[in-house]
Chain A
């Protein structure tokens, strides 16, 4: 029998339909892989017993003729999604014992479609980080190695690591500044952040509400389309949810890109970027041209301001969102001398260093006297960044860029300057600010044998074209490399 952890989600769904194996068999194979991979630290809370029950129930449903979109597929859930009866920590101490009594809309959609949930995946604390090193539960290790342990990227590091290592057929993730696409690039997986408003934010622990979007990390572009079709959809419980139907994204994946206008933004070249990434970008341009696309040079003149805007807007929204953690109604409480002292002790002990740092920045830029200089100005520059994209769409249909300015780097690399760490998101953050869909597709290995991704950004609500272009890129790249299985 084939190794069931090596097949794609599409392959697994076909195999289940054909009766080649049951969901119980498929799930057991993945549980075994998870148990052997504890060294990767991809899970915060495994739910193997629940998964076995769900797999059994799925096989029974299938026998009675009910087959959902994800029927019987063992998947992972980023631990930022609230799951009823299953601890949901946001990789923090403050929510360390939080067990929601309700289900996020995204995970509820997937449950209704027959998902089997293997567990809750590790992440950067409150999704704040680009290396999965800010988790209260320890760093996640990338299955790809270069003689030493590497980070899987972040914040969806557990999701990326688990999919790359074959621990689950796909996983949910979230992306506020690049947290789906950068880890996908670091682990040789596919990750898409859809248009803002496609996936409901209800039940997702909030970081920066005007930027947060859910999306999948998967083994292939087609698998990402299957997952996103289940995750997305209108939800009245989220006031920013878009009342739009979910198209047939899976069907878009194999379509021809003949005549598609692919924009190449000249500002996406930064100092210190490895020449291999430049070369891969050019290779991607050639692949698209060979596939029949028309290449257009475009300009996004405010690109360099995207990260500074992000580091005003995101901490400002975070400082407001995280004000709810006061130790009164749920989460950790650390008793102090009086009420104010209890608040302070609870929050200081309950939040990690990076979370406290961002709360401090956000509080400062929103405080009296600085609001106009920092926050209001950042919101105006954000308008200019969104305008850059609107102008670009006059001459092109999608944009092609590198996903990240580097390959995966070593765990524990000392970074004293937080700005250096923030640069990881330089190519991804623009799509969050403008609310646009972006996907990372694994394209090649660098000289050290580590995966590198290319990113396709599309117009709002035009995921179909993004999937089409990503499918063409995937086909041309023919990326089939897998990490050597050193962890089991």
Chain B
């Protein structure tokens, strides 16, 4: 399998997984690195294209962000918002302790 210029190492896999909030076992890092390197090597052909002076395309259609009045459009639906919560109590989301 081709190696990309910026190859992903096993340590990189750990780092990316941490950024993505995914858990990766040490034993999986090598296989995931190979997988990502295969895809990245293929993506690197984009380096052949001359993009000097080319604007990046950020939207599929040319349009300005639409404006609307800054008012509540769908308020007062607390119970609907909580309806799918893994844990809710007294009208609040219940989440794990985040400050020790």
Residues of A within 8 A of B (CB): 97-102, 195-197, 210-211, 236, 239-240, 242-243, 302, 304-305, 308-309, 311-312, 319, 323, 326-333, 335-336, 338-340, 342-345, 347-348, 351, 356-357, 359-361, 363-364, 367, 370, 373-374, 376-384, 386, 417-419, 432-435, 460
Contact = CB atoms under 8 A, between A and B. Distances in A.
Given A308-B46, A418-B39, A326 B21 contact: yes
Nearest to A337: B96
B60 A210 contact: yes
B57 A383 contact: yes
Given A328-B95, A332-B86, A196 B60 contact: yes
A327 B35 contact: no
B38 A363 contact: no
A311 B43 CA distance: 7
B59 interface: yes
Contacts of B23: 344-345, 347-348
Contacts of B36: 357, 360-361, 364
A211 B42 contact: no
A99 B43 contact: no
B61 A330 contact: no
B22 A348 contact: yes
4 smallest CB-CB distances across A and B, nearest first, come from A435-B60, A379-B56, A330-B84, A333-B86
A302 B59 CA distance: 19
A361 B84 contact: no
Interface residues of B, number: 51
A359 B6 CA distance: 18
B65 to A, nearest CB: 6
Contacts of B12: 364
Given A100-B84, A242-B63, A383-B54, 14 more contacts: A195-B61, A242-B61, A327-B86, A330-B85, A330-B86, A333-B86, A340-B21, A342-B96, A359-B20, A364-B40, A379-B56, A384-B49, A384-B54, A418-B39
A418 B39 CA distance: 7
B20 A380 contact: no
B39 A361 contact: yes
Contacts of B47: 377
Interface of B: 6, 8, 12-13, 16-17, 19-24, 32, 35-36, 38-40, 42-43, 45-49, 51, 54-61, 63, 65-66, 68, 77, 80-81, 83-87, 93, 95-98
B39 A419 contact: yes
A40 B88 CA distance: 38
A99 B96 contact: no
Contacts of A309: 46
A179 to B, nearest CB: 16
Contacts of B66: 236, 239, 243
Contacts of B95: 328, 339
A308 B47 CA distance: 11
Nearest to A385: B57
B97 A339 contact: yes
A380 B56 CA distance: 4
Contacts of B6: 370, 373
A339 B20 contact: no
Main secondary structure of the interface of B (DSSP, over half): loop
Contacts of A361: 36, 39-40
Contacts of B21: 323, 326, 340, 343-344, 347
A379 B39 contact: no
29 contacts: A196-B60, A210-B58, A240-B59, A240-B63, A304-B45, A308-B45, A311-B43, A326-B21, A328-B93, A329-B84, A332-B86, A344-B23, A347-B21, A351-B22, A359-B22, A363-B16, A376-B56, A377-B49, A379-B56, A379-B57, A380-B55, A380-B57, A381-B51, A382-B57, A383-B55, A383-B56, A383-B57, A384-B54, A418-B38
Contacts of A343: 21
Contact of A328 (B45, B51, B60, B86): B86
A201 B66 CA distance: 15
Contact of B32 (A344, A360, A376, A386): A360
B57 A386 contact: yes
Contacts of B85: 328-330
B61 A460 contact: yes
Nearest to A379: B56
B61 A381 contact: no
Contacts of B22: 344, 347-348, 351, 356, 359-360
A97 B85 CA distance: 10
B80 A101 contact: yes
A376 B51 CA distance: 10
Contacts of B8: 364
Contacts of B97: 338-339
Contacts of B81: 101, 329
Contact of A331 (B19, B43, B84): B84
Nearest to B47: A377
Contacts of A240: 59-61, 63
A240 B66 CA distance: 8
B29 to A, nearest CB: 11
A348 B45 CA distance: 31
Contact of A329 (B24, B57, B93): B93
